Amino acid sequence: MRDYYTIKINLPGGIVSPGYLKDILTAAWSSGIRKVRFGARQQLLLTVHYEVVRFIEKDLQKLNINYELNTEKHPNIISSYCGEEVFRTGQWLGNNEYHSVLDSFDYQPELKINISDSNQSFTPFFTGNLNFVSSPEPQYWYLYIRLKESNNLFRWPELIYTNEVGRLAKVLENCMIHQQCQSAESLYEAVKNETTYISIPATQELELPSFSLPYYEGFNRYESRTWLGLYRRDELFSVEFLIDLCLLCLKTRVGELCVTPWRSLIIKGIEDSHRTLWSNILGKHNINVRHAANELAWQTEDHTVEGTQLKDYLIRYIEKNDTRTFGLCFGIQTRKKSEVFGSVLVRKRSVISFAQLSLLSVYDIYYTENFNPNSRKHILFQKGLFKIHLPWQLERLCRQFNNRRNFENAEIIHIEEEVKDELSLTVLAYQCPNCMTIYHPAYGDELNNIPAGTFFESLPEEYYCSTCGTEKDELVEIELPATNLI
C-alpha cells in the first residue's frame, strides 16, 4: 500500500473564486493537510496520507467538488486569462470572451485543451492536444491540433467562433479518442460528417510574438489598481496563508484568483485603499515577493522533489556566476513522457537500471528551434552529462543564445568625437532599487496623483513607487545629467 495519494482538482482556465477555494482548503486543513501546490496546467494538487484519504474525499463530495485520485483522466483546460489586463493582450479578447469560451464546455475533457491570446508569451500555446489561439478577427479562434502521443501540429482550415469552441472540442475529442482518427484529413472529414458549426476560412497564418517572460511577482500597478503575483521557491503554499488570502479577497470584493502555469498565483483588482491589508497578510505569513527574475523562468513536473532540488541547484550556479538568462525559460524532466514548457530542457535519462529502479542516470540538454519554447522541435545540445557538469553546460548554452541574438540584432554604430561641456549640470532624483523607476520632482508622479514641482521631502509618508509599490524610505537618491530629463 502506498503511503501518500495525490488529489487533483481542476480549475478551468486557471480561474477560481475565493469562496470555492476556501471551501477546498478548509476541508484540506480538517484532514491535516498543511501545504498544497499548483500544477503546470493550473490545477490544485493535494498530497494526502492514506489514513485520511477517505475523510477528505467525503468532505469534497459533500461540497460537490470534482476531483481525481491518483489519475490524470481529465487534464485541466488552461488559458492565458491569468495575464489578461496585467500583461500585453489582444484588441478584442477580454474577460467576457474567456468566460464565454470556458462556459461553452459542458463536459470534462479527456484531451489537453489550451485557450491562448495570440499577443502574449506568458502561457504556452501548443502544450495541449486542442490549442485555440485568438485570431485578428474578433470572436474567432485558430485551432491547432496535436494528436495524442505526437509532437506534430496541424492547423484547422477554419477559424472557430467563440461560442462554438466547447461544442467543437467535444466532437473532436470523440473523433480522436473513440473513432481513432489518426490524420488531419480523416479527423476533418469525421467532424464535418458529425456536426456543423459557425466558422470562417483561416486565410492568414498565425503570427506569434517573440518570447519574453514578464516579471510576474510582487505588487505591480496597472491602470488605477494593483495586481499581486505570488511565487514560492519550493512550489508549496501554506494552507493557512491561502485561507487568509481567500478571506481577504472576500472582504475586499476581489472576485477571482488566477493560477499560472509557473505554479504561481496572480490576484488582480486590488484597490489602493486595501493595499495595506495585502501587505499585512504577506508580513503575517512571512511571504517574500521579490525573487530574482531568472528564478521565475523555470518549470518542473508536478509532484517532483527531485526536479525542484535540481532547479535550485542550477539556479544557485546561475546567480553566483551572474549568467544572463533573459529571453529564455527552462524546463526539467525527470520522468519519461512528462511534459514541461521551456526553450531549454534538461532531461534525466537512466543508463543502468534494475527492476525499474534506476542505478545510474545522466542528463541531456536540449533547446527548442530558434529558442522558442512554443516550438515542438527539440535540438540536442549536450548528451550524457553528470549532474556536476550541468551548470557549466547550461551557461555555455545561455552564452550561445546571447551571442546569436547579438548577431541577429547587430547594428553599425559610428562613434563621433564626444563634445564636452565646460560645465556639467546634474539634478537630484530618487530611484526605486527594485524596479529602477525614477521619481523626479520636476515631473511629479501622475499615477500617484503627485503634481509636477513636488519636492521629494514634501511627498506624503505613505507614498510608494508607482510601478512596484516599494515604500518611500527605500528610494535611493541619485544624480542625473540634467539633459537626461529634459
pLDDT of residue 281: 97
Segment 397-406 shows an average pLDDT of 87
Residue 434 within any structural domain of the chain: yes
Top-confidence residue, 470 or 231: 231
Is residue 401 within 8 Å of 328, Cβ to Cβ?
yes
Check residue 50 and give left, alpha or beta (phi > 0: left; psi -120 to 50: alpha).
alpha
Same domain, 396 and 441: no
Residue 254 within any structural domain of the chain: no
Buried-state track 244-275, b at ≥16 Cβ within 10 A, e below 16 = bbbebbeebebebbbbbbbbbbbbbbbeeebb
**Segments of 223-326 assigned E as strands:** 225-230, 237-238, 257-259, 265-270, 298-300
Residue with cell 473532436: 172
Distance, in Å, from the CA atom of 103 to the CA atom of 78, rounded to the nearest integer, reads 13
Q: How many helices and strands in the chain, by DSSP H and E?
A: 9, 25
Same domain, 398 and 480: no
Condensed to tens digits (0 to 9), the pLDDT of residues 26-43 reads: 999 999 999 999 999 999
Residues 6+ apart with CB under 8 A from 388: none
pLDDT of residue 411: 52
pTM listed for this prediction: 0.82
Residue 328 within any structural domain of the chain: yes
**Cα–Cα–Cα angle for 339, 178, 164, nearest 5°?**
80
Condensed to tens digits (0 to 9), the pLDDT of residues 67-95 reads: 999 998 999 999 999 999 888 666 899 99
Condensed to tens digits (0 to 9), the pLDDT of residues 421-476 reads: 444 456 788 888 776 788 888 888 888 888 888 888 888 888 888 877 788 888 88
Same domain, 455 and 373: no
Residue 17 within any structural domain of the chain: no
Residue where one domain finishes, among candidates 201, 217, 248: 201
Which range of residues forms the domain containing residue 144?
88-201
What is the strand order of the sheet 357-368 is part of? Answer: 298-300, 330-333, 344-354, 357-368, 378-385
Residue 357 within any structural domain of the chain: yes
CATH number of the domain that residue 456 is part of = 2.20.28.10
Same domain, 324 and 403: yes
**Residue 332: band (very low, low, confident or very high) from pLDDT cuts 50, 70, 90:** very high
Query: What's the total number of domains in the chain?
Result: 3
Same domain, 432 and 397: no
Residue 133 within any structural domain of the chain: yes
Same domain, 379 and 474: no
Same domain, 401 and 445: no
Q: How many CB atoms lie within 10 A of CB 322?
A: 7
Residue 284 within any structural domain of the chain: no
DSSP state, residue 294: G
Residue where one domain finishes, among candidates 201, 219, 253: 201
Same domain, 189 and 113: yes
pLDDT of residue 449: 85
pLDDT of residue 313: 96
Residues 6+ apart with CB under 8 A from 60: 7, 9, 24, 27, 67
Residue 31 within any structural domain of the chain: no
